A and B are shown apart, each in its own frame.
Chain A
Amino acid sequence: MTHVITGACIGAKHKELSCTEICPMNCIHGTASDEIFYIDPEECIDCGACVPACPREAIFPEGKVPEKWQGFVQINADYFKNKK
Chain B
Amino acid sequence: MATNLNPRTYRIVGTQRQIDERETPHPRADRGELGERIRLGRKNRHSSDALRRTIVANRDIVKERAVNPQRTPVSDPAAMARTIKEAARFFGAAVVGITHLDQAYVYSHRAKDDGNGNKAGDPIKLTHKYAICMGFAGDFERYMACNSMISAAEYEMGHRQEMLGTSLLATFIRELGYPAQTHGHGGYVLNPIPLAVNAGLGELGRHGMLIHEEYGSRLHLSVVTTDLPLAVDEPVDMGVEEVCKVCMKCAQTCPTYSIPFGDKVVVNGVEKWAIDVDSCYKGRITAGGEFMVCLICTTSCCYHKRSSWWHTLAGWMLIRIPIPLRTLYIKPLLFLDDLIWGKKPWLQMQWMGYDNAPSPVTCSIPGCIAKHKPLEQKPLHKVPKKTIK
Interface residues of A (CB under 8 A from B): 14, 17-18, 20-22, 24-26, 28-33, 37, 45-49, 52-53, 80, 83-84
Contacts and interface: CB of A to CB of B under 8 A. Distances in A.
B229 to A, nearest CB: 47
14 contacts: A17-B371, A25-B283, A26-B363, A26-B370, A26-B372, A30-B368, A46-B279, A47-B258, A47-B279, A47-B282, A48-B279, A53-B381, A83-B366, A84-B365
Interface of B: 255-258, 276, 278-279, 282-283, 286-287, 361, 363-373, 375, 378-379, 381-382, 384
A54 to B, nearest CB: 12
B371 A20 contact: yes
Contacts of B369: 14, 17, 30-32
A22 B378 contact: yes
B368 A31 contact: yes
Interface of A is mostly: loop
A37 B276 contact: no
Contacts of A26: 361, 363, 370, 372-373
Contacts of B365: 29, 31, 80, 83-84
Interface of B is mostly: loop
A29 B258 CA distance: 22
Closest 3 CB pairs of A and B: A20-B370, A49-B257, A47-B279
Contacts of B366: 31, 83
**Which of B256, B363, B366, B375 neighbours the largest number of chain A CB atoms within 10 Å of its CB?**
B256
Contact of B384 (A17, A28, A45, A52): A52
Given A20-B370, A24-B375, A49-B256, A84 B364 contact: yes
B379 A29 contact: no
A46 B278 contact: yes
Contacts of A25: 283, 286-287
A32 B381 CA distance: 26
A33 B282 CA distance: 31
Contacts of A47: 256-258, 276, 279, 282-283
Given A22-B381, A37-B370, A45-B279, 20 more contacts: A14-B369, A20-B370, A21-B371, A24-B255, A24-B256, A24-B257, A25-B286, A26-B363, A26-B373, A29-B363, A29-B365, A30-B368, A30-B370, A32-B369, A45-B286, A47-B276, A47-B283, A48-B279, A49-B255, A84-B364
